[in-house]
Amino acid sequence: MSKIKEKKNENFYYMKNGQDIDQKVLRKNEEKKKREREKRIQNKKKEKEFNIEDEAVIKMTNKNNLKKEAIHRKKMLIEEKKKQKRKKRIILITKIVLIIGIVSGGTIFAMTSPIFNIKELQVLNNEIVSSEEIISLSGLKTNENIFKFIKENVKEKIKENAYIEDVKIHRKIPNIIQIEIIERKPKYSVDFMGKYAYINTQGYILEISDDNKGLPIIQGVHTSEEEIIPNKRLATDDLVALEDIIKIMNIAKENNLDNKVTSIDISEKNSYSIYVEEEKKRIHLGDNSNLSNKILYAIAIIEQEKGKEGDIYVHGDLNNKFQPYFREKV
């Protein structure tokens, strides 16, 4: 009995839950459990690491897929835009072709149909130049197509007449042409080699005639004889003097004297004079200063010296004690 007990003590047996357990076995079991636990921990770590890597791969894959989808969508949009452009281009070309066809057909019809042959030529607003002369200048004729002429060419032909300042051409479809005229009006005449050149207020030479037509005669112009041609203007010096003449005549008109003025001498710029044949008096105005008062003084002297032939001098400086006077012709 004692031997058996000693043997147990030598081999470290002890009692637990009614059984004898060898401590070496127990340690082995604990070590095994520890290893298993460590292995499970390692496996979990590996699994976690794998999951992270896998998630990164998935994200990268998704990103690549999204990028591919975006590129695909972009390509599709570009293709769709190209298709739309092609459709629009086709529609536009179709419309252009249709329009060209319609216009071409319409043009051919308009240029060939007798419906559009000119039946009447009307001249509007002309007083000086006759309708017959204007139509003749235009070159237009009845029974010709209403669209076969260029308006600007016709205008230039009509404006060859110096009296024509401007022209407007109206096509009244289907067969009437209206020629609207703006005329220059003769206001003065210029002494020219024993004849008279009519001019308007802009200095355009309108006509050269033997008859004065009762227009005030401008004497002493500086325009050379070879330049006195219808449809041309007076020389620059004469155009400047013409502005003064217009002022003089406007003031004379305000005082009912314009219709009595028969001639205006502009030989010297600062020594203008006008002749009133009805009163047999020449009024010496001097320069273009203080014209209103000069004309008023002249009218007063005309009334005062009624029936006498002579010269009225109002050419001095009325603001500096100059006294107008009359000198009777001896």
Q: Which residue(s) pair with 20 in the sheet?
A: 15
Same domain, 192 and 168: no
Same domain, 75 and 151: no
Domain boundary among 149, 183, 217: 183
Question: Who contacts 164 (Cβ-Cβ below 8 Å, separation ≥6)?
Answer: 129, 134, 158, 181, 182, 183, 184
pLDDT tens per residue across all 330 residues of the chain: 444 444 444 444 444 444 444 566 667 777 777 777 777 777 666 665 555 555 565 666 666 777 777 787 888 888 888 888 888 888 888 878 778 776 666 667 666 678 889 999 999 999 999 999 999 999 999 999 998 899 999 999 999 999 999 999 999 999 999 999 999 999 999 988 889 999 999 999 999 999 999 999 999 999 999 999 999 999 999 999 999 999 999 999 999 999 999 999 999 888 999 999 999 999 999 999 999 999 999 999 999 999 999 999 999 988 888 999 999 988
Same domain, 26 and 155: no
> Measured in Å, how far apart are the chain's first and last C-alpha atoms?
200
Same domain, 282 and 164: no
CB-side exposure of 145: number of CA atoms within 13 Å?
Answer: 12
Residue 146: count of CB within 10 angstroms of its CB: 20
User: Which residues constitute the domain of residue 249?
Assistant: 188-328
Domain boundary among 89, 112, 135: 112
Q: Is the dihedral of CA 49, 50, 53, 55 positive or negative?
A: negative
Same domain, 154 and 84: no
Same domain, 221 and 315: yes
Structural domains counted in the chain: 3
Full-model pTM: 0.67
Say which DSSP state 149 is in: S
Domain boundary among 137, 159, 183: 183
Same domain, 30 and 150: no
